[in-house]
Structure 1
Amino acid sequence: MNKFPPYYNFWHYMGHYGLKLSAYLVLLFLMVPILIIIPLSFNAEPYFSFTEGMLSFDPAAYSVRWYTNIFDDPKWILSIKNSFIVGIFAALIATVLGTIAAVGLSSPVMPFKRFFMALLLSPMIVPLIIVAAGMFFFYTRFNLVGSYVGLIIAHAALGIPFVIITVTATLSGFDRSLYNAGISMGASPFKSFRDIVIPLIRPGVISGGLFAFVTSFDEVVLVLFLAGPGQRTIPRQMFSGLREQINPTILAVATLLILISVTLLITLEFLRRRSERLRATAQ
């Protein structure tokens, strides 16, 4: 079965396949530098380059010593713990607040909708160095600089826009008559929202939470401004390692972060397809 329209001529086909080829080339351009990190992390020598033994596939030239160094170094252990603590709590706060904001913005009776949407999405638009500097001067008034609370709140503020975007996209296909039907049958607004709305938009909520977690997990600028020595995260430790002591342990950590990112992307794709199936069933 021909997937192209019958009016396609030679130039239409050239444009279609040319665009597809360009997309693959751009993807290759973006992925190759990332993929090179993975074999370099198994370098037996303390270098950021391929040795002759690695190029000749000598087993002695490969080692997992840099992966074991991660769990032998107290600084890396602390940074891993902090990244997960800050990331999880920031994602939870961002998911709750972002979902509430998205539901409010999707209401047809919401006044000044565009203004509030632009205001809530501003952390994605304003340069991060400006956001970090503003938060630093604001947090000093409340003694939040150098604390877990301040860092979690700052990371949650960065994650909220991603939750709003994903949940709003999910709500665009939501039939509000289902919510109104629950109200008309005697359920309270909260019960209707919990039992009707949340199950239908759950994939978007989870996707937004994962985006918020990744945003927090990858953030370094805010950590440089707001974190103390006890709150350094993985990106902050990698930044320090590049300045103080360069060794392939950084590459090993980067490889683990790539695996985490790939796992989250697969999860997001699964949730996207599940959301589409639910939307098709509802229709």
Structure 2
Amino acid sequence: MDEDTRLFDVEIQLLLEGVFRVYQHDFRNYASASLRRRVRQAMERFSCLSISELQHLVLHDRRVFAQMLQYFTVQLSELYRDPGYFLALRQEVVPVLKTYPSVKVWVAGCSSGEELWSLAILFDEEDLLERTVFYATDINPEALRTAEAGIYPLDRIAQFSSNYREAGGRHSLSDYYVAAYDAAAFDRRLRRQAVFADHSLATDSVFSEVHLVSCRNVLIYFNRSLQDRAIGLFREALVRRGFLGLGSRESLRFTAHADGFEEVVPEHRIYRSK
């Protein structure tokens, strides 16, 4: 690492320490490479020539901090992203969940809600929706509002529909939304069982016992210690023999909790607590 990069990282840590002390949001253990890229994007967005200038704006104006959350958190998702994951849930996990009288699912780091709506449709098709409670959590209030609304640009629907078919969808995705004014609004019946809440994997505790945790493409933005903390929360939240689903580039291997899980569908990063 060259000297300029090292000093840049020091300034980023000062910014994140200030954010934690003022707003109680903890990004201090996010992966360095990702933070560098996103802080540079934020500096460009707010026309700041230095991190200290950005820090002054963020710490003295809550509205700027609210906008900065878009850079600290990654809002990149789609319905049935990595369709094989959802097909594996349908085939390997749902049959076990059906044996419970009621089910709780935690969608951790739900972002703008595509994963939550994907699961709700899947559970509806498997006659499991009415006895399931979904907890959709994120630290970004704007993302949570989008997730709860379930309204997405119409030009994204073609990809959503393709993913849905590959994920084993049993109908047409159009059965689940109404299109108007260049947007698709998903059936609010699907979210009657969903609770949307602010929750930080960096600072908050477990809030419920659940049968499935789905946390996809979140851990890749954490350093090792924060990954261990998050997985520890999932392990604590899961019922005996509960399921954990991660993103395609994420793994429990080499984490502090690797021995606490067994692989169910290794190629799609689905695990079961021991």
Fold equivalence (TM over 0.5): no
> Which has the larger Rg?
1
- TM-score (norm: length of structure 1): 0.23
- TM-score (norm: length of structure 2): 0.23
Higher relative contact order (CA 8 A, sep 6+): 1
Indicate the structure with greater strand content.
2
Indicate the structure with greater helix content.
1
